[in-house]
Structure 1
Amino acid sequence: MDEDNYRQIYEQINGAPCVFEKGILSLKCKCSYQHMFRLADRHGVGCTDTVMQLNCKVFLDHLREQTRFVFKIDIDGPLPHNKEIKVQNGGMLGVQKILLNGAEQAETVDDISDLMFKSVEVYGSVDNLPYNLIMPSVNNYKTRPKRQRSKKT
């Protein structure tokens, strides 16, 4: 299956893609609204609730905007893959940390939607979250190190 064909079928199957797909597929985040599927030996994640998908998108857009300054990136398109993983996983871990009042931070997020609900409950909307307190978690998030290529002699 060529990449164009894959993208076309992916969009047909997944009408509501999860904006935290990379975080979920990296096994650091979960969500009660996620719908996992496989297509051509790849995994994908959809969202089963359009309102939750929109809330997550608004939050992630704010977070990406903040991280462009932190990462010193000035591009109009999507973030590079490694940076996006840091934003999604580090961002959700940061939200979890501030909602737990700095308690011992876990390495995973059990439910993105639960954190989104609690964020709105505490701060009124995702626009009002203290992004300055979330940024250290994004910046300090360690992605998986690159594999070392074995040298053939």
Structure 2
Amino acid sequence: MDEQSYRITRQQINPLPCVFEKALLSRVAACEAASRALLAEREMFACRDPLVRAACGQLLLLLRQNAAFALKVKDTQRILPHAMMMKVQCGGLIGLKDLLDPEALAPDVKKLVMRAQAEYGALENLPFSRIVQGISHWQIRKRGPPRS
């Protein structure tokens, strides 16, 4: 399957892709609103709740904007490389978990977003200086030596 066909098919079967898909795929986070699917031996996540997806989109945008210094970039509107997006998604969710639910084993995206809105009124009111610490400290998992 060529990439163009894959993207068209993916969009047809997954009209609401999970905003934090990279974090879910890497098993750093979970989400009760996400449903898992496979296409051409690739895993993907869809969001079952359009309202939660909108809130997640807003949170991701705010994380990107507030993480510019930690990522050492000036323009967070541009397309970020995969490793930077992993830092934003995984580190941002871990930072949010540490702020709102430090006892949890792993971040649950929907629960964290809903709790953040309930406790702070709006996602814009979150203390991003504390959350961005999670982004600064999160590191992508190093690959091990090749297996023979």
Q: State the TM-score, normalized to the length of structure 2.
A: 0.91
- The CA distance in 2 between the partners of 1:7 and 1:74, in whole Å, is 30
Task: Report how far residue 142 of structure 1 moved.
Answer: 1.8
8 Å contact from structure 2 (residues 70, 135) kept in 1: no
Compute the RMSD of aligned alpha carbons: 1.8
- The CA distance in 1 between the partners of 2:91 and 2:68, in whole Å, is 14
Which residue number in structure 1 is paired with residue 73 of structure 2? 73
Task: Report how far residue 72 of structure 1 moved.
Answer: 1.4
For residues 72 and 117 of structure 1, do their structure 2 counterparts lie closer, same or farther at Cα, with a shift above 3 Å needed? Answer: same
- Choose from 116, 138, 143 the match for 2:140: 143
Cα deviation, 1:101-138, whole Å, max 9, x if unaligned, reads xx4674x22x2111111101110011111100001111
Cα deviation, 1:77-119, whole Å, max 9, x if unaligned, reads 321111111111111111111114xx4674x22x211111110
Are 2:81 and 1:84 equivalent residues in the alignment?
no
SS at match of 1:56: helix
Runs of 4+ in 1 over 6 A off after TM superposition: none
- Choose from 108, 126, 129 the match for 2:126: 129
Greater shift in the superposed pair: 141-150 or 22-31: 141-150
Q: Which has the larger radius of gyration?
A: 1
Which residue number in structure 1 is paired with residue 114 of structure 2? 117
SS at match of 1:37: strand
Task: Report how far residue 57 of structure 1 moved.
Answer: 0.2
Which residue number in structure 1 is paired with residue 4 of structure 2? 4
Are 2:27 and 1:27 equivalent residues in the alignment?
yes
- Taking only the aligned residue pairs, the percentage that are identical comes to 33
Count of residue pairs brought into register by the alignment? 147
Which residue number in structure 2 is paired with residue 50 of structure 1? 50
- The CA distance in 2 between the partners of 1:6 and 1:74, in whole Å, is 33
